[in-house]
């Protein structure tokens, strides 16, 4: 889908961070934007900023942890805009913790928001896209899904599921004009999980590199325009490392330990566990 002007894009997880940047990028490309997220205030501000760019925009506060939320979000979007040309499944939650300290409720919550909601939303929009003969669906995964990380097991598992889902759907619908892409950001500064870690005094080894919300948003639009199956937005140093780990998975534990990733998330998990138990 090379032309985004006058298309309608639905973006989940738009309350801030990557989602907000994606919405603004769509507006700059001339697309109408439906912004969904859990925080009403930031969504309203985002829509105001989108209107200032001269595009149609709508905020729909939604908690995707609720199973019925997906259909309601799609129905309201289609009622207002008629069609959904692009769906960006960006909503996600994370909970750095030792796996045995992660509650069943926290595990289910990550699965529901990070993976199940994306599948349900995709299933809901796909029939209309097939009828119209056009559409694109993007899943925002994570660089952690490519290598795994200690103290992030459920998050890594759900984000890895999005990568597999993308490739499965591309194979299933390869003879249609519907595109499916997955974008894997690395450590993102400016907002989101890693920025919260920085704010709390935790920083990663420079070898892991960083990216920004704006760069990730550009990657999302590039994936749509060029129908890219999988695209990464990471700091330059980590790209060859990720490629090596794909060829030699047994090196993952060594690399994540020696680059300090394991220790980083161990310290974050310990800090948050102490706060939760205080």
State the catalytic residues: 155
- Say how far apart CA 143 and CA 212 lie, in whole Å: 13
- Say how far apart CA 145 and CA 92 lie, in whole Å: 13
Distance of CA 72 to the CA centre of its chain: 20
- Say how far apart CA 12 and CA 3 lie, in whole Å: 21
Q: Is 263 exposed, middle or buried (0-12, 13-18, 19+ CB in 10 A)?
A: middle
Q: Is 224 exposed, middle or buried (0-12, 13-18, 19+ CB in 10 A)?
A: buried
CB 137 within 8 A of CB 144: no
| Per-residue tokens: 26 | 């769509």
Secondary structure class of 183 (helix, strand, coil)? strand
What is the number of other CB atoms lying within 10 angstroms of the CB of residue 77?
Answer: 22
- Say how far apart CA 179 and CA 243 lie, in whole Å: 24
- Say how far apart CA 71 and CA 21 lie, in whole Å: 25
- Say how far apart CA 217 and CA 222 lie, in whole Å: 9
CB 57 within 8 A of CB 33: yes
What is the number of other CB atoms lying within 10 angstroms of the CB of residue 198?
Answer: 15
């Amino acid at each position: 889908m090379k032309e985004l002007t006058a298309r309608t894009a639905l973006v989940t997880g738009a309350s801030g961070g990557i989602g907000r940047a994606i919405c603004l990028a769509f507006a700059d490309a001339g697309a109408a934007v439906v912004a969904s997220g859990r925080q009403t205030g930031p969504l309203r501000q985002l829509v105001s900023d989108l209107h200032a760019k001269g595009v149609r925009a709508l905020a729909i506060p939604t908690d995707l942890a609720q199973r019925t939320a997906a259909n309601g979000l799609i129905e309201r979007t289609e009622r207002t805009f008629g069609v959904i040309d692009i769906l960006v499944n960006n909503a996600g939650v994370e909970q750095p913790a030792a796996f045995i300290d992660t509650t069943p409720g926290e595990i289910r919550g990550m699965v529901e928001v990070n993976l199940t909601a994306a599948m349900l939303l995709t299933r809901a929009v796909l029939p209309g896209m097939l009828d119209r003969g056009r559409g694109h669906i993007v899943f925002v995964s994570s660089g952690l899904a490519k290598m795994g990380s200690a103290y992030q097991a459920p998050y890594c598992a759900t984000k890895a599921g999005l990568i597999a889902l993308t490739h499965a759907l591309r194979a299933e619908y390869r003879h249609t004009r519907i595109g499916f892409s997955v974008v894997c950001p690395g450590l993102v500064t400016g907002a989101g999980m890693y920025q919260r870690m920085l704010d709390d005094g935790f920083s990663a080894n420079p070898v892991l590199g960083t990216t920004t919300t704006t760069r990730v948003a550009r990657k999302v639009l590039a994936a749509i325009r060029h129908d890219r199956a999988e695209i990464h937005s990471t700091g330059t140093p980590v790209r060859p490392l990720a490629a090596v780990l794909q060829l030699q998975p047994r090196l993952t534990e060594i690399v994540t330990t020696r680059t300090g990733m394991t220790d980083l998330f161990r310290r974050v998990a310990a800090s948050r566990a102490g706060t939760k138990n205080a």
